[in-house]
Chains A and B, each alone.
Chain A
């Protein structure tokens, strides 16, 4: 469990995934990757849980069901993201025209 705020970067303990928080609800959030809590540190030597092994993709944004949590994947990995056991989903990117 950790308190998240926009701009915070976190690493997976079981794969190469790294994320940056874009928006987060108040209070503690149980953000996991590959089924294990994400943190600031290095690998814990564990393995990706088979139920959370869909992988993350660089540059994709992931959101929880009510949209209160949004993270950006800045480094891809084999684990997939979840909060309290529920998987985060890729946020559909609205296609915007190029402006600059």
Chain B
């Protein structure tokens, strides 16, 4: 079982069809037969090189599918690297996959020549050799356990994790969700997601298996997308929400997009604002819309809201059916979904919890960390959501996004939905910020429509609006107007950034709940828990790292929070280490908590500061810098 087998079938089923077209390269194309031949020759070259990984550092072009299938053929994992990263970040990722067979663009090539463990060649050299070589005799790797693809996740913090997708996961996904040779000869897919995104891998494999020509769009812009879609008479395309939003904006003033050839448009990768999808449905009246939800760790799509479900929801009288327009639909065949609470108990209909998924295509494995899948095959997605009575899945932020205000749990997503329904609001994000009174307070950042004055009257109006739709505890205590919200390039809202920006330093100091920002939460946890015997509750972030601990002590609860140098103003001390600060209501009480546990004096480098006394600044003028307590212990 190997992705190469999918190409082999395509080659024998419809070898002379065009497989990929690259408009940026003068419209050069490759047929399935040529792709197969090139993959065989490149597989030979990869094996000769002795590399352990095939690294691709380039935009979409014809060398990308050749390298993907060649690495499958050779049984060497394929590792697409994000070319938008800094040189330093790219070097760090590359160092993790040596000895590497690297394919990159001409401009970058000199940078990697003579690099230890990196055997680099340009896209042109790679493609030239592959298309003139002969690899038909090259032996094929067929072990289903072979690693097909390593994908570095786009985690917003920390070191990127390498998600492991084995051939069995990828082939299962394609065979169970795509009908072989189901595309008509004139069908063409416009692929604008980058090669290092799981949707880029999935679109390559599914298009090859279906026999659908792929038109590659290396650098997305709304104008280029529209122009290419019209010129190439595209029949199907996938976009992330930010892309669709820009396409809709670019078509402003036009009645329709004039793309009757576009049969289907699927979207996913982030939350789609209702206003965008409604405008898009009006601009593309002949197009079927599909919402797909999936993760890197699940080999792409796991649930789908198809065109029929879109229409049924849009035209229904019943509220519980109509709301399915903003759901991500129902699981693919062979996929099971379960919603669980924090303790791992399965939840019922309409109850919000963490989304667990199980199926043949689900990997849930990371390099050097092993599998996060439990003994029964369930993978915790870290996404939060709920299932309705008919099994439609609704996403509701990340499992860690929940706001705890005065002991009441609330999800940012439902407050955002209410804000977005206000006429003046174009985009909205809601987060919890530290609050003296509530532990966490609801804070909002709003992008208003250009014709609306952003002033205090509007804040009051928006607060009234939320109050008229939800319980008053959901009303944002503060609302900031921003020109735009921070999204990553594939359309995911960077909630941490919103939170950091809305948590001004002044508010930090006012926080009633004592906070410890620590450089190494694992070591700190060991210190407080094992050495001092405090009771700790652990919480993990989206990347599976310990993110914060709740430390229970008499008369006080303390939260240990991982210091994120980029968020919260880079809490670095003068020595360049990430430092901690310690806020508390009553210094003496807190002090006693340590001395009462047999610590004669607090660790020498920990300082206890009452929050109102706190005015220490680091060399950059930032507040708060102390040594890490454990490093001194």
Q: How many chain-B residues does the 8 Å CB contact rule pick out?
A: 43
A61–B177 Cα distance when bound, in Å, is 12
Chain A residue nearest to B183 (CB atoms) is: A98
How many A-B residue contacts, CB cutoff 8 Å?
82
A59 touches B180 (CB 8 A): yes
Task: Known contacts A59-B180, A72-B175; decide if A97 and B266 are in contact (CB<8 Å).
Answer: yes
B300 touches A100 (CB 8 A): yes
A70–B99 Cα distance when bound, in Å, is 39
Task: Known contacts A9-B142, A58-B12, A59-B9; decide if A99 and B175 are in contact (CB<8 Å).
Answer: no
The stretch of A26-34, A45-53, A79-87, A88-96 in contact with B is A88-96
Select which of B13, B290, B360 is within 8 A of A97 by beta carbon: B290
The interface residues of chain A lying within 8 Å CB-to-CB of B179 are 59, 93, 95-96
A93–B175 Cα distance when bound, in Å, is 10
B333 interface contact, C-beta 8 A: yes
The stretch of B199-207, B351-359, B540-548 in contact with A is B199-207
Select which of B13, B172, B175, B202 is within 8 A of A100 by beta carbon: B202
B307 touches A97 (CB 8 A): yes
A60–B180 Cα distance when bound, in Å, is 7
The interface residues of chain B lying within 8 Å CB-to-CB of A67 are none
A94–B175 Cα distance when bound, in Å, is 12
A7 interface contact, C-beta 8 A: yes
- Least distance between B530 CB and chain A CB atoms (Å): 44
Q: How many chain-A residues does the 8 Å CB contact rule pick out?
A: 20
- CB contacts under 8 Å to A, within B168-216, are 168, 171-172, 175, 177-181, 189, 199, 202-203, 206, 209-210
Chain A residue nearest to B176 (CB atoms) is: A22
The interface residues of chain B lying within 8 Å CB-to-CB of A100 are 199, 202-203, 206, 238, 266, 292, 300-301
Chain A residue nearest to B305 (CB atoms) is: A97
A7 touches B301 (CB 8 A): no
Chain B residue nearest to A93 (CB atoms) is: B179
Contact string against B for A residues 1-41, beta-carbon threshold 8 Å, 1 for contact and 0 otherwise: 00000110100000000001010000000000000000000
Chain A residue nearest to B300 (CB atoms) is: A100
A1–B203 Cα distance when bound, in Å, is 38
A74–B301 Cα distance when bound, in Å, is 24
Interface centre among A58, A61, A74, A99 (most CB of B within 10 A): A99
B1 touches A20 (CB 8 A): yes
A75–B10 Cα distance when bound, in Å, is 10
A99–B202 Cα distance when bound, in Å, is 9
Task: Known contacts A6-B144, A20-B5, A58-B12; decide if A96 and B175 are in contact (CB<8 Å).
Answer: no
B326 interface contact, C-beta 8 A: no
The interface residues of chain B lying within 8 Å CB-to-CB of A99 are 177, 202, 206, 238, 266, 268, 290, 292, 294, 300-301, 304
A69–B364 Cα distance when bound, in Å, is 26
The interface residues of chain B lying within 8 Å CB-to-CB of A72 are 175
Contact string against A for B residues 284-310, beta-carbon threshold 8 Å, 1 for contact and 0 otherwise: 000010101010000011001011000
- Least distance between B611 CB and chain A CB atoms (Å): 50
Chain B residue nearest to A60 (CB atoms) is: B180
Select which of A7, A75, A98 is within 8 A of B264 by beta carbon: A98
B1 touches A6 (CB 8 A): yes
The interface residues of chain A lying within 8 Å CB-to-CB of B21 are none
A20–B140 Cα distance when bound, in Å, is 15
B436 interface contact, C-beta 8 A: no
A7–B177 Cα distance when bound, in Å, is 17
Select which of A6, A20, A75 is within 8 A of B12 by beta carbon: A75
The interface residues of chain A lying within 8 Å CB-to-CB of B1 are 6-7, 9, 20
The interface residues of chain B lying within 8 Å CB-to-CB of A95 are 179
B332 interface contact, C-beta 8 A: yes
B13 touches A6 (CB 8 A): no
The interface residues of chain A lying within 8 Å CB-to-CB of B181 are 58-59
A54–B171 Cα distance when bound, in Å, is 27
Chain A residue nearest to B307 (CB atoms) is: A97
B3 interface contact, C-beta 8 A: no
- Least distance between A38 CB and chain B CB atoms (Å): 16
A26–B13 Cα distance when bound, in Å, is 32
Chain A residue nearest to B143 (CB atoms) is: A7
B236 interface contact, C-beta 8 A: yes
The interface residues of chain B lying within 8 Å CB-to-CB of A96 are 177-179, 304, 306, 332-333
Task: Known contacts A100-B199, A100-B206; decide if A7 and B9 are in contact (CB<8 Å).
Answer: no
Residues in chain A within 8 A of chain B (CB atoms): 6-7, 9, 20, 22, 58-61, 72, 74-75, 93-100
Query: 12 other contacts beyond A59-B13, A98-B236, with CB at 8 A cut-off?
Result: A7-B1, A7-B167, A7-B171, A20-B5, A22-B175, A58-B180, A61-B175, A74-B5, A74-B8, A75-B9, A99-B202, A100-B199
| A-B contacts, 23 listed (Cβ < 8 Å) | A6-B144, A6-B168, A7-B167, A7-B171, A9-B142, A20-B5, A58-B9, A58-B181, A59-B179, A74-B8, A74-B9, A96-B177, A96-B179, A98-B206, A98-B264, A98-B266, A99-B266, A99-B294, A100-B202, A100-B203, A100-B238, A100-B292, A100-B300
